[in-house]
Each structure stands twice: as structure tokens, then as C-alpha cells.
Structure 1
């Protein structure tokens, strides 16, 4: 006895253009599968990179399974159930392990769905409207459940993988900073690292303590990390919070790249970014991390502008911050200004702004003539004149020594 394809569950089958939809779809599965695979290879480069046996095997099988599954839905005239998408979930998990992006997987399913719908509705006439509408309801529901199953399975696997990778990177970073062996981390160190101490300014959206502020802080950190990863030879090792932190960049480029990176990070995150950096091999990371932290401290104390700093940029400050019998004597040169805070602030700005009275006045919100008067008072009280090269060096050194002793 032959099967009556025009009746299903005791009622007439859904038909379009005079043909039962379910039976027509089943008959077209092989041809549709070939067409879907051809489009995947042509339009999605990530699928073209998969082994041919995988395309002809697992990928082709999941396309065929989904088409036949929808044919069953139409034949039964009953919506699909979430638990019926086990095979699609398993396939999505495999793609996640292979590193296939989720958007490529969802695009692949949408390509298959669009081609199947074109096949189902080919030749439809006005008299088929009711059947097309009912089929469309099943189709949209099927696609919703399918995308949900695929996305959740993919993200579950990626969360596990990312957690493991993050754990491995964290262990590697901890070992490198401590100067310990890295064999237990299961990861191999890069031959060369840029060691960074970072300080972040606050984004305007971080004002307050609500959810908006927390989201803004996470967004800022994420954007900075993206810039670091773009420059690094492989994903950067980072320990960052809203105020800054430490980063180890596997790095083979030069200092100019690091300078540009800091500027790009500031632009991407919409904040001020200050960085102290050193380039070294794995064995030199503990010393480099300590040094960059100290450089950052000196930069902050001197109220220097944002940007990238190396030891060469703060040599005088660095040397004068070392314990020395001369430190107190240098700082003492400015003792006559202890009771004149406005003179001390003027001296700091005047030296930092290259002895420019107008720029100093603008920074202090006073007239340039006031700056000139205060500079004369400083000379009278200390006996040191910034206009004399020798005295200028002493004044700079005295300020650095004073900041070092204050910090201590």
C-alpha cells in the first residue's frame, strides 16, 4: 500500500502549489544540502578553512537533520520542542571547541533556513495563503528554538574554554612576576615582553556609584585590553581595574609602537592613560615590574602629563629618589618656601612649563606679572635664580628631593 502524502493525522496535508510541503522538503534534502554547503564555503571563509571531511560529514549531516526535522514538524502540524534540538547543540559545541565564531554558525543556519523557505514556497498561488501562513508559524518557531539551542550550547562551551585559558594566563602572569618557573602553568612564555604599569583617568560615565558607573568602568577596561591585544604578539597578560594595573605584552616591536598604543588606548576608552614601560625577557620581568611601578610613582608625584614613560624620561627623579645623604640637603634648599605655599606652587609650575610666565600664569589663574614677582621672591628667599643654568639645575633637583622625602 502506498503512503497518502495528501493526508496527515486524519486531515489533509499542508500543500503549496499542489504538492505536500513535508514530502516535497524530504525529497529535496540532498539537493538543498549541497546548495547550502556550497554557499557556506563561498560566503563564510571560516567554513572554507575546515577540513573537507568535516564539511562532508558533521556539517552536511546537521544540515540534513535540520531539514528533515522541520519536515516532521510540518507533517505533524505541531511546533517543535526545545528538547528536540540535541544534535544541533552537540554540533554547536564542536564548533565552539574548534574556535568557529558564533556569528558564522548562526549565519550558516540562516542561509539554510532561507534556502529551505524558498524551496517550500516556490510556485505558491493566492489559494495557498492559508497553508503558507500556517507553515510560516511553524517555521519561525522552529528557527527561534534552533537559534536559542545553538547559541546556548556554544556559549556554555566557550565559557568553559575561556575560563580555562584565563586561568592559565593568570597562572603564567603570576609566575613571571614572581620570577618562578612556569612549567606548572601549562603555558610557554614569550621570548620578550613589554612590562607596563598603567594608570587610568576616570571616564565621565563613571561618576557616581550606580550600575551605569560599573558598566562604564568595565567598558573602559575592555577597550584598553583590546588595544593591548592588538599590539601584542599574542593575548596580553593583564591585571587591571578601573584605576589601572599591570600588563605583560608578548612583544617583538619597538618603542614607537608602545607610544602609539598608549595614545590609541586613551582614545578608544575616552580617558587619560599614563604608562611606565620596560622591555625585557621572562627572567627580567620581576625587576622590570618593580622599576615601572617606581617610574609611575615618580610621574604621578611630579604631576606629569599622560603618555608613555621610560626610565630615561625620569632619570633625575629616579636617581634622587634613592637613599642618599645629599637628599635632605637638596630638599633643604627650598626650606625658606615652607611658609609660602603659593611660591612653592609657582616654582613647580614655572619649572615644569619651561620658565614661561604666560603659560604659568594661565595654569595658576594669575597675571604673568604676578608670576614674575613671585619668581623674584623665590630668588630672594632661596638665593637661587632660575635664570642661571646652575641654579636652575639645583632648583629642579631640590623639588625632586623634596617630593621624594615627602613621599617617604
Structure 2
């Protein structure tokens, strides 16, 4: 019977995954990726665990049920009801029972009863472990510890001194924090109608938080929604920025979504300024059309400095005034400079013939009197583009 269960585990898993959404609305609302991934792994693990018990091996102890308990905690974060989770296990256990006994003969009654005793034992262990893990996860999500973390996060964002924060929250802040400001792209499942979108968003955020927590081994303080937010990672010393870039890449892979982030290291009282700078860096990244990844202030030093309020901004932006009403020339200039003045790369990006790029460059040079192909004009053109983006009206938010 144990060998039969192990051999049939992939088929049994498929059959269980067909029944769960059909019979339980909470599972019908889950993203397809989650059913085919996390849930399928738990089903197979449980089938094989039952095979171990049938074979007489020690099983259904705390270490054996760790995946089921971790899964229950994740479902608690996603808002899946506990009764739906326990019913899902009942469905799986029932199907395992049918798999083992559908060919039993009358003279095998004693063996069938022994199997039934094993089934009741593993069912009891699963129900106890899963319910306990689920309720503990809900307690942490709703309890005073989480409230204390929110209070600490709010105090740090307000720039309160460390002694004040410790006195008010009961928690001594770290000496430094890695301040991360994140912009998160939507996961494809977030576009689906109904509860699936909210579950997909919570799953995305959970995976990102897990990646952030693993960076230092200490829990990150986060305020994230599906579009992004802020994370504070306690640090004892300055990080290696290549490690931080790798962290953002891992978080993006885990959440299966694009992440654009800005980072800075700050003492507790410097966190508000660090968040403001990060936000400005991300604005500059967005305005210049750069892709996802981690960006530091050093990556946009010229743009940052030129975008500060100054009497020179209007004059710099005015250098491009003759191109107003000629958006194709402005786009060509920006693309040409972004591709290192490579006419073929520019033509590929704009889907134009290289000769058309040359013509447009000559045309805009004649209109503004500055050429991107003259070294003495290059800095002024870059500065003019930054000034123009800075003064251009932005949509709310």
C-alpha cells in the first residue's frame, strides 16, 4: 500500500487539485500559480507522509508536519478561512483512503482496520498542527507585537530620537537602517477579477517581506501595499551595495514581479530625509525611463543636482523650446543620448531607418543650435533635458 501511494502521488495530487476549487470557494479564488505550486507541493508531501506511516516509519511529528504548518501560516496571511483549509485536508485524506482500499478483499478486513487507525492518527496530527499554526499566524498578525512594530516604524519615519523611540515603544532602535523605497509592478494574477487579485497581492508582499527578513536575519519594518512602499532593515554596519542589488533581484524573482528600488543607509533620526531622497531618486529613474533594479543617489547625481530649485532651471529648459510641438525630435534626442549616441541602436529602439535618425539629429541641431555630436554641447543638452523633465507638470501621485 505504501508503494502504491508513492507511485500514485502525482496522479492523486492532480485529482485533489481538481476537487479543491470545485468544492471549496476559498480555493477557487486562489491564483492558479499558487494551486499548481505551493498547494500541490503540500498535497504530495502529505500523501508521501501517509505512505511513511503506513510503512511503519515514525511520522506525523512536528518536523514531518513543518511544511503543512508553514503553508497554514501563509494561508492565514492570505485570508483563507481555517475551515476551508481543514476541509481541504479531509478531501485529500478521503482520496488516499479510497486509493488504498478500493481493491480490498473481505479476508483483509484486519489490514483495512489497521490502515484506518493509521489514517485517524495522521488526520489528528495534521488537524492539530495546521490549526495551531494558522491561529498563531493570526495572533501575530493581529496582536500587540505587530502593533509594537507599527509604532516603532511610525516613530522612525517621524525622525524621533532613539531614546524617545525606546521610551515610547519599548524597543531600542538599531544603530543604522537600510532604508528601501520600493515600486512594485503588478503580478499577472492581480489583474483577475474577484478575490484572486487580493490574494495574489498579499502573496506577492509576503514573498518580498520574506526576502527582506532573510537579508540580515532580523525582521524588517515594512509598510508595503501592492504598488510599493518603504522598508527599514536594521543594520550593524554599512552593507555591500552589490549584496543589496542581489537582494532586490531575489525579492523580484520570489514575487515574480518587477521591482524598482532606491536605497540609503541612515541613522534613526536621518530616516525621514533618506526616504525623501529615495523618493526623488525613483522619480528621476521613472522620468528617464530606466528599467527595474536598485538605484542609489550616486546613480543619478547630475540629474538630482540639476533638478533642485534654481533660477537656471527655466533657462536650461528653454534651450529646447524650439522643439516644442515636435515630439518626434525630442524623443529622438532622448533616445540617441540614452543609447550612447549610437545611431543604429537608436534606430532599432525607435523602429526607424538609421538615415531617418541622422536626418532628425540634423533637424533638431538646426532648430536649437546645439548638437549631441559636439562634445561641448553634450552637457548642456543633458542638463536641458533634466530641467525640462523637472519643470514639466506631473500627474497626481
Is the Cα contact below 8 Å between 1:233 and 1:250 reproduced in 2? no
TM-score (norm: length of structure 2):
0.67
Name the structure 2 match of 1:366: 352
Superposition map of 1:45-124 within 5 A: none
Name the structure 1 match of 2:206: 222
Q: What are the ranges of 5 or more consecutive residues in structure 1 without an aligned counterpart?
A: 1-38, 46-125
Aligned: 1:182 with 2:165: yes
Name the structure 1 match of 2:315: 329
Displacement of 1:259 after TM fit?
1.3
Superposition map of 1:271-350 within 5 A: 271-350=257-336
TM-score (norm: length of structure 1):
0.65
Aligned: 1:383 with 2:369: yes
Pair 1:260–1:130, CA change in 2 (3 A): closer
SS at match of 2:251: helix
Displacement of 1:356 after TM fit?
1.0
Name the structure 2 match of 1:247: 231
Distance 1:135 1:268 in 2: 43
Distance 1:319 1:302 in 2: 15
Name the structure 1 match of 2:31: none
Distance 1:382 1:226 in 2: 52
CA root-mean-square deviation:
2.8
Q: 1:151 aligns with which of 103, 113, 130?
A: 130
Aligned residues: 292
Pair 1:263–1:378, CA change in 2 (3 A): same
Aligned: 1:203 with 2:183: no
Superposition map of 1:18-29 within 5 A: none
SS at match of 2:180: strand
Pair 1:371–1:208, CA change in 2 (3 A): farther
SS at match of 1:182: helix
Distance 2:106 2:357 in 1: 91
Displacement of 1:274 after TM fit?
1.0
Distance 1:327 1:378 in 2: 21
SS at match of 2:392: helix
Which has more radius of gyration?
1
